[in-house]
């Protein structure tokens, strides 16, 4: 039996009807039409569904929508609310950190979490942070360079 859940998504309070077993990724995609969080593996291995929950990167396929009630959820759509690319998004374009783009939203939100902790992370720290995000296209070097560039500019 569906219940109403209220989420703070990209700075806006949003309510939707969900069943108790509804995953956050499905609530975002199917309930709210925010399709930036991708469903890649159904086993929480790929990180394509990563969002920020209270500022920390989480795989939204591992969180029930009810567990996010009243919490701050940021999707890739909310990273650039005024249509201006976020510095991480710009860096991914400038440093060739993306190819097909399927994993990119999750990787960018993981990078946003890492960079929010301050400092300029080393390549090793960046690679460690990305350990839960799989990319089949880039070989990761462009991704690491993109994140390093933003960290160095901070």
Query: Which CATH number covers residue 147?
Result: 1.10.150.120
Question: What range does the domain containing 8 cover?
Answer: 3-78
Q: What's the rounded Cα separation, in Å, for the pair 100 and 66?
A: 32
Question: What total of structural domains would you count in the chain?
Answer: 2
Residue 6 has pLDDT above 80, yes or no: yes
Q: What is the pLDDT of residue 82?
A: 85
CB neighbour class for 12 (10 Å; exposed up to 12, middle 13-18, buried from 19)? exposed
**What is the model's pTM?**
0.95
On whether both 113 and 142 belong to a single domain, the answer is: yes
pLDDT tens per residue across span 81-139 = 888 999 999 999 999 998 899 999 999 999 999 999 988 999 999 999 999 999 988 87
Dihedral, CA of residue 72, residue 82, residue 59 and residue 19, to nearest 10: 60
């Amino acid at each position: 039996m569906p219940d109403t859940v209220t989420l703070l998504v990209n700075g806006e309070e949003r309510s939707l009807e969900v069943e108790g077993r509804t995953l956050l990724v499905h609530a975002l995609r199917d309930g709210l039409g925010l399709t930036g969080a991708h469903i890649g593996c159904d086993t929480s291995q790929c990180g394509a569904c990563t969002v920020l929950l209270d500022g920390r990167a989480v795989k939204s396929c591992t969180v029930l929508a009810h567990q996010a009630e009243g919490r701050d959820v940021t999707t890739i759509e909310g990273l650039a609310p005024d249509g201006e690319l976020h510095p991480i998004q710009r860096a991914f374009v400038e440093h060739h950190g993306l190819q097909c783009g399927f994993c990119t939203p999750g990787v960018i939100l993981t990078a946003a979490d890492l960079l929010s902790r301050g400092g300029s992370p080393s390549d090793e720290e960046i690679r460690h942070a990305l350990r839960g995000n799989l990319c089949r296209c880039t070989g990761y070097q462009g991704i690491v360079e993109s994140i390093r560039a933003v960290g160095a500019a901070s």
